[in-house]
Structure formats: structure tokens, C-alpha cells
Amino acid sequence: MTDRPAWRGLADPTTPDPDLVAVLTELFTDYRSARPTPTAVVDLDRRLWQRLEDLGLTRLTGSETAGGSGGGWVDAAALLGLAAAAAAPVPLAEHDVLGGWLLEAARLPNDGGLRTVCRPDPSGVALNVTWARDASRIVALWEDRDQWRVSDVTVDRVGIEERRNLAGEPSDTVEFDLDDLEAGTVVAHEIGEQFHLRGALARSAQVVGAMERVVEVVLEHVRERQQFGRPIGRFQAVQHLVSDIACETALARAATDAAVARAAASDWRDPGMLFAVGVAKSCVGHAASVVVRGSHQVLGAIGTTLEHELHTLTRPILARRSEYGSLQDWDETLTALASSAGRDRLWSLITTGRAKAHRTT
């Protein structure tokens, strides 16, 4: 191509496959229009899961040889975000992006049966394991004397105490038999380290997707709701609240997309991933405070009711921002990276994720 514009050699816009986005948008619009009114407790939607499975979406990121669809992180983040925007109760992050990946890393077979994932403590107990009661198997990543082991344990071999998280979703306590964990396959150290980062970024993608839907819900409301003889969106105070919600959401989106793009471009090998994921987790977490508070304020009393869509978004936003590290944990991680970069390398840390500049040639 002779008329390729100069900027093409300088910047590479990162966008998900438009065909995939079209399919997902249709799928989740359908789902939203047909679903029953919101409930306080949320259970797995097996029909939706089946539909996703038929479309190859429950194994989107699995390699094709392992029965997956060979999708990358950019597409996976789009799927997680759109599913979260529809408040779809399906374990896409646990089953595919995390569990499926661990099984492949350990070269363990994957029969496609529904899985969740967790990191049990030394005594074999894992807390807040989302969807554990619904899974056929639980993929466990376990640290055993400086080694990481992956086991794919059938649910009949674990003890499950049923609990629910802030979003009303299954978030169970799981107790493993130590023999099953000790029999796990040893995986490379990076796998153990990456698991936390992948989990944190998957959660960020979900929270951003949900926040984007909150912005839509808010905009619909301020156009329709009338007070003092006009739509409340005409009031400047309301406009400024909504603008702040939208700005924080956009910032969280920029941070998450940047981390996803870096992960996709390097297959998670880029040494700047810790910083990039931390930036996403921090911006997403702080945005959540503004978005949840502001959206409930704009919606008024109706937004606090069970029948309204808003809590199906705001509850998962808050539940997920604290998974794979609290906001405070991540801000502390970033603080440590920034202070050890020091005055002269802070900017290098921000642009590359590493304190030392590298030519990328």
C-alpha cells in the first residue's frame, strides 16, 4: 500500500474483532430483554451458558488444539465486559480465562465441563470461590513449598459451604483434600505469579463493562424522569454528576484497555504487566466509588429497589473490585513500584511499566 498514512507506523489502535462484538451485542441484548425481573440472589443461568457454549464463547481463549476458539485477550476482555454489562450470571472469567488457561498451562485435559477456579491456602481451604456449587470441577492453583501445582478436582471430592457475595452470587468456601492438591501438576513459576494478574485484569474488564452500562442506565433515566416540569437531565447539577460518572468510567476504560493491549501484544510476557494491571485495578476501583455513588444519587429512590436494573450492576461492581487484591493492596503495589523507580525513572515506569527505559526495536 503506497498511501498508508504516516501515523500507521507510529500507533496501533487496539479494538476487538467487530464481528465478535456484533454477535455479543445481539446475544446480550436478547438476554436482557427476555430475563426475569432482578432478584436479590443470583444463580447461574444454565440456558445462557448453553447458548454461549454453542457459540464457542465459553472457551473463547482456549487454544484450538485444546478445544478452544483461539481468541486473544482483546476479544476476551470485550466478552467479559459485555457480559458484565448485561449482568449475565455466567462464570466466563473463572471457567475460561482463568481455569481453562491453568489447565492448558499444566497440560491437563479439559472436557469443557463447567469449571471454577481458586487458590486454596496451605491447609487446602479457599474462600469466596465464585460459582463453586455449580461447577463440575474446580481448578486449584496451590503453592506447595516454592512450587505451584495445578489440580482439576471433581466437586464430589471437595467440601462446599454455600455462601454468597455482595452481588448475591454463589461465593462458596471450598475445602480440598490435601492429597488432591499434592497430586497436582507442577507448573512454571510465572504461572503462579500471572494468575493473580490475570484475575485482576479480568475483574477490571468486567467492572468497566458494568460501569459503561451504568452510564447508559443513568442517561436513559435523566432523559425520561421529569421534575419541576422538565427532564432532570436539564439541571446543571445533574449534568455535572453524570459527567463525572462518565469521565471516571472513561478513565477506567483507558487503563483497562491499555493493560489488555499490553497483555495481548506480549502474551503476558511483557515485564510491565504488573504495573499495567495495577493501573487498571486502581483506576477501576476508584472509579467504582464515583460511579456507584453518583448513579444511585441520580436515579433517586427507584434506583434502590429490587426491581430496578441498577443494583444488578452496582453490586457486582463493588463485589468484583475487591477480588484479586483490594484497591488498597494495588495502590500499595503501585506505590512500591513508583517509589523504587524514583524521581528519574517514574516517567519510564508510566510509559513502559518498567523503571528502566528499553528500546523496543
Choose the stretch contacting other proteins; rule: CB under 8 A; options: 58-66, 104-112, 122-130, 328-336.
328-336
How many residues in the shown chain lie near other proteins by CB under 8 A? 72
Kindly tell me which residue out of 278, 294, 303, 325 binds other proteins, with binding defined by CB under 8 A: 278
Kindly tell me which residue out of 148, 195, 275, 324 binds other proteins, with binding defined by CB under 8 A: 275
Give residues 178-217 in contact with other proteins (rule: CB under 8 A): 212-213, 215-216
Coil/strand/helix, residue 260:
helix
- Is residue 9 close enough to count as binding other proteins by CB under 8 A? yes
Handedness of CA 99, 102, 106, 112 (dihedral sign): positive
In angstroms, give the least distance from the CB of 60 to other proteins.
Answer: 19
Amino acid at 124: G
Kindly tell me which residue out of 122, 224, 347, 356 binds other proteins, with binding defined by CB under 8 A: 347
Give residues 79-138 in contact with other proteins (rule: CB under 8 A): 85
Handedness of CA 127, 130, 131, 135 (dihedral sign): negative
97 or 215: whose CB is closer to other proteins? 215
List Cβ neighbours of 55 (8 Å cut-off, separation of 6 or more). 23, 27
**Per-residue contact string for residues 20-59; x = within reach of other proteins by CB under 8 A:** -----x----------------------------------
Picking from 289, 263, 294, 252, the residue whose alpha carbon sits closest to that of residue 199 is: 263
Kindly tell me which residue out of 15, 39, 297, 304 binds other proteins, with binding defined by CB under 8 A: 15
In angstroms, give the least distance from the CB of 38 to other proteins.
Answer: 20
Choose the stretch contacting other proteins; rule: CB under 8 A; options: 10-18, 46-54, 102-110, 160-168.
10-18
**DSSP secondary structure, 19-61, as one string:** HHHHHHHHHHHHHHHHSPPP-SS----HHHHHHHHHTT-TTTT
302 or 336: whose CB is closer to other proteins? 336
Give residues 229-248 in contact with other proteins (rule: CB under 8 A): 233-234, 236, 239-240, 242-244, 246-248
List Cβ neighbours of 249 (8 Å cut-off, separation of 6 or more). 208, 211, 212, 214, 215, 287, 291
Residue with cell 510491565: 272
Choose the stretch contacting other proteins; rule: CB under 8 A; options: 33-41, 152-160, 292-300, 350-358.
350-358
Classify residue 164 by its DSSP letter.
B
187 or 287: whose CB is closer to other proteins? 287
48 or 246: whose CB is closer to other proteins? 246
129 or 208: whose CB is closer to other proteins? 208
List Cβ neighbours of 91 (8 Å cut-off, separation of 6 or more). 44, 114, 115, 116, 130, 131, 134, 135
Choose the stretch contacting other proteins; rule: CB under 8 A; options: 30-38, 53-61, 311-319, 348-356.
348-356
Q: Classify burial at 166, counting beta carbons within 10 Å of its beta carbon; exposed 0-12, middle 13-18, buried 19 or more.
A: middle
CA–CA separation, 121 vs 227, rounded Å?
Answer: 54
CA–CA separation, 175 vs 158, rounded Å?
Answer: 6
- Sheet order of strands, 125-130 included: 125-130, 171-175, 159-161
In angstroms, give the least distance from the CB of 334 to other proteins.
Answer: 3
